[in-house]
Structure 1
């Protein structure tokens, strides 16, 4: 099966490529097409049509997106809404025009209401106000997911399904403090403290907010599995752990893996963000899958990538 993977240079995309390269299990026989932006501009529908006409893939994994942290989303809501909704529309409609009947769309847990009761179930989408700091991005992700759903409703032969991962970390993550998310930022912060002999590390807020982070290699495994069993997938499916940890526990786990024995100091003047965002895994468990990588194992693999710039799986 020839599969077009968008977003091949991102963390999820790179992990999917590593998974397919092993050519075992559900990945056996898959051939990935992962063109760069310079080869196929996802903001240009005609470029997508030309690519699909030339390569004729059998399926699509849409993992591309304009992404960024809270500050970037606040500063550029027009860009995050417009580019993500255009990419999603161009990829999904391009696939439909080309007659491609299998498509996996990667969404985000930010599609859930900001005040939704945890754990967040798939049927809670569009039942409440979104988190204002990334509302534009969330609207674009909801629109793309709904488009996939509508296409499948109009013609059930088109199996266009949306996966909603929880927060991710792992190999090919970004460790620059300006652009990184929590776990890679904590790894970089504690590694620097250890290297410099610092006696304490600062934690923003009280550290009691809870977060759910899955190892990106596990998400890649599931994407490949989901593509192989796409007929059995519902229109929307969370991909998460079903449990979470406090910010303090993540700092402690990273310190343990790094061998850092310094102290932690809480800056209570800094923001803590949402107190919890945990996705429901009831549908995922019914599908027969759970993430195999423990937090410690995932952190060790991520640290290895951070230190060496390559994986050794």
Structure 2
């Protein structure tokens, strides 16, 4: 069977292509030069020409708090257009299977943790990434509407927790927390710095999953829906466990070998105080993440050393 994978050059996309299950399919992963997802007609023409059996929508403009705050227009417009164009073109072409990757940013900022799927649109979003969240909500709702009007089409949305791992970005201006901290602590260790700064008090809690686990989850869900198994159209995909920012810094410092101390800049934004998702819907189907935090950080740091040997 043929898979159309959007976002094939991103962290999730590359890990999907490297997953052992990818060998069972013909995977089409066009670059942005080959297929502009912001161009509706181009997406329609591509899907009509290639006729994939399955669409995995993993493309997106992504980044951490700094990137979201710097370009809210881009995060809203580009992610909205990509989601609408890809999912609607698949629907119009009669593609039976679609796995849409959303984001836990869709949850209300004040929602009680752990976050459950029925809380989406039940409250105000976190302002620091509101544009990205709105775009992901739009794509998610489109998948759900499609399932309602045509029950033969299996359009499933997965809501991953925060991700990190191989093929991550390590630029502090554009990356998520763990890769940014890996680089920051690596540079501090090389410079023999005595202190590393943490934004806020470090007590905010986050759930980070190693990205290979998400790739495993996506292929497992595809196996389920192809086999006719009943699968909810919206599911969280995470560890079911979170850690404080301070704990992540300490875990990374241990792997990197940084022996210094940490300071806190209480003037910097920290986002939501906690974001832990409830993955019981997915776990009930038999899937669980398998990579520990220590193993995931070690693999990610090794990737950083291999890809950025002079940094």
Category of TM-score, reference length = shorter chain:
over 0.9
Point out the more displaced range, 197-206 or 66-75: 66-75
Aligned length: 305
Mapped pair 1:121 → 2:138: no
Q: Deviations over 1:231-264 (max 9, x none)?
A: 4321100001111011111111111111222222
Residues 74 and 268 from structure 1, CA distance in 2 versus in 1: closer, same or farther, beyond 3 angstroms?
A: closer
Q: Deviations over 1:72-124 (max 9, x none)?
A: 33343332222211111111111112111100000000111110000000011
Report the Cα distance in structure 2 between the residues aligned to 1:74 and 1:195, rounded to whole angstroms.
30
Mapped pair 1:280 → 2:275: no
Residue in structure 2 matched with residue 11 of structure 1 by the alignment: 11
1:182 to 177, 181, 193: 177
Q: For structure 1, list consecutive stretches of 5 or more residues without a partner in the other structure.
A: none
Residue in structure 1 matched with residue 27 of structure 2 by the alignment: 32
Q: For structure 2, list consecutive stretches of 5 or more residues without a partner in the other structure.
A: none
CA drift at 1:28: 5.0
Mapped pair 1:112 → 2:111: no
Residue in structure 2 matched with residue 307 of structure 1 by the alignment: 305
CA drift at 1:178: 1.2
Residue in structure 2 matched with residue 72 of structure 1 by the alignment: 67
CA drift at 1:46: 1.5
Report the Cα distance in structure 1 between the residues aligned to 2:266 and 2:137, rounded to whole angstroms.
34
Q: Secondary structure at the match of 1:168?
A: strand
Residue in structure 1 matched with residue 78 of structure 2 by the alignment: 83
CA drift at 1:273: 2.6
Point out the more displaced range, 268-277 or 48-57: 268-277
Q: Secondary structure at the match of 2:284?
A: helix
Report the Cα distance in structure 1 between the residues aligned to 2:144 and 2:267, rounded to whole angstroms.
43
Point out the more displaced range, 140-149 or 227-236: 227-236
Report the Cα distance in structure 2 between the residues aligned to 1:33 and 1:279, rounded to whole angstroms.
31
Report the Cα distance in structure 2 between the residues aligned to 1:40 and 1:128, rounded to whole angstroms.
36
TM-score by length of 1: 0.94
Q: Secondary structure at the match of 1:293?
A: coil
Report the Cα distance in structure 1 between the residues aligned to 2:61 and 2:177, rounded to whole angstroms.
18
Residue in structure 1 matched with residue 250 of structure 2 by the alignment: 252
Residue in structure 2 matched with residue 271 of structure 1 by the alignment: 269
Q: Deviations over 1:183-210 (max 9, x none)?
A: 1111111111111111222222221111
Report the Cα distance in structure 2 between the residues aligned to 1:264 and 1:58, rounded to whole angstroms.
50
Report the Cα distance in structure 2 between the residues aligned to 1:165 and 1:219, rounded to whole angstroms.
7
Residue in structure 1 matched with residue 201 of structure 2 by the alignment: 206
Report the Cα distance in structure 1 between the residues aligned to 2:186 and 2:66, rounded to whole angstroms.
24
Residues 194 and 76 from structure 1, CA distance in 2 versus in 1: closer, same or farther, beyond 3 angstroms?
A: closer
